[in-house]
Structure 1
């Protein structure tokens, strides 16, 4: 299942979204699917704040702490990006700022 594309032409203005973490209201869910949902909700809110949608995302960078999380992450990401398929980089890291965090995602939108 391909949920990204190798290239995507961007227009003149850009929105850079900082790395979004899976903690909401001081609570971090345990499953990778739930953590990914929280992160994607935050990205969606950042886009909406600027009157943008997931269709405007041209690049995302995903950081996960274990490659075994990939199937759960991909299922949630596929639902989120739909047909828009932004370019994507996946990095497996030794850890994130909080040891309970399994995923962090940042993004770039163009409009």
Structure 2
């Protein structure tokens, strides 16, 4: 099975807290393939969110992230990223933990 095909529409799926995510982290699924886990989501951090308790993260999938609005600070690297910035991560790439002073909204694409 693949992600369902759809034409332009307003997403109606509710914002949810991803499993294992820190307080203040939310995502809205735009498209998802339940068989593979591939998907596209909007991810949102509330202002003041800090994922330090989660530590660094590694995934078993490729991940693309485009910051739509706000700021995101990589606490390990000591760098802040803002709207218009993009990341492409291979499986196993270590990243985070993160904080966001003003909050952030990102488009995230996950694929195997």
Q: Is this a same-fold pair by TM over 0.5?
A: no
Superposition TM-score, scaled by structure 1 size: 0.31
Task: Indicate the structure whose relative CO is greater, using CA pairs within 8 Å and at least 6 residues apart.
Answer: 1
Higher strand share: 2
Higher helix share: 1
Larger of the two Rg values belongs to structure: 2
